[in-house]
Amino acid sequence: MSIAILTSGGDCAGMNPAIKKFVDYCFDRGAQPYLIYDGLEGLIDGTIKKAKHSDVAGIIHEGGTRLRSSRSKRFFDYEYRKRAYENLQSLGIDKLVILGGDGSFRALKQFYDDFGVSFVGIPSTIDNDIFGTDYCLGVDTALNMIRWATDAVRDTSASFKRGCVIETMGRNCGYLALVSAVTCGAEVCVIPELEYDLQSLCVKLRKQLDEGRKYIVAVVTEGTKKTDALVKWLEDEVGIETRATILGHIQRGGNPTVYDRLMATEFVIHAVDRLIQQKSNDGLVIVYADAKFKFISIDYVNSRKFEIKEELLSLAAKMVK
């Protein structure tokens, strides 16, 4: 049996530990692993290599993905999907593991519908915004990168009695900003999921500054597009000199944390076991929900929008009003 792995969409820490475990575990199970480079584009172009242990030796501590990634428009054209299928057929590959987000899973679902190529998707996105799973690979490392950066900016802000606005990634999902605000002790948190009252916050923060507060930390999700407005508000209304720090792609990099390495290992083991054991072809996503690993259909993943749990949102109550 031959199984290939690819990484698609945005990269994240945890992908390399997953790739290493995939190769090692396939050999343990008597399957031949293949590596697909450059994501879906590599599937089309045939940049597919029979894997050896030496291909993945020493990569467990590296961020990003050794296989590289891409966002492929060509894959939405049947002609190119057919070419990708023929590339797999020439190598005897009929099963795939894909590390990516819901867009990548939808692409492979179409591939499965066209040609019956089985796959298991492993949720891999720092946004943690895939419905059906409580955790996506790469999130813990991203949170630790944000924590490190926020702590560092707070140090210099306190030295000059400044405010700092920290912008995180997250598109339309505020998970990174919310968890970072809670765990870094921020005074303000602005995310799409919560309504905030700047007037009430202003009164509270002015009082704290009068009583000796030396800094203010505000964490905001990029998708709100409120970073510049928050800087202006802190300076003009609250009355504290303020700087913005846009963390950007630093959140995608860094050495994978212990938790992400462990989750990568467990995700891959379950995925490979399922592909080897299943009797019928299908396309599934392995998720971690309610402290358990389980398989769900890509249709179920796409059936609803991810929502942050209410109990987690409630932790930000003092940072929005």
Tell me which H or E stretch contains 295: strand 292-297
Distance CA 101, CA 132 (A): 12
Distance CA 131, CA 121 (A): 13
Q: Tokens standing for 316?
A: 């930000």
127 counts as catalytic: yes
Residues 6 or more apart in contact with residue 311 via CB below 8 angstroms: none
Pair 129, 223: CB distance under 8 Å: no
Q: Tokens standing for 229?
A: 């407005």
Residues 6 or more apart in contact with residue 203 via CB below 8 angstroms: none
Distance CA 55, CA 105 (A): 25
* 44 closest CA partner among 19, 79, 2: 79
* Annotated catalytic residue within 11, 102, 127, 140: 127
For 53, other C-beta atoms within 10 Å of its C-beta total 11
* 307 closest CA partner among 103, 124, 134: 134
> Residue 199: exposed, middle, or buried by beta-carbon count in 10 A (0-12, 13-18, 19+)?
exposed
**b/e 59-92 (16+ beta carbons within 10 angstroms → b):** bbebbbbebbbbebebbeeeebbebbbebbeeee
Q: Distances from the Cα of 219 to the Cαs of 176, 251, 265, in angstroms? A: 9, 14, 32
Q: Which residues are catalytic?
A: 127
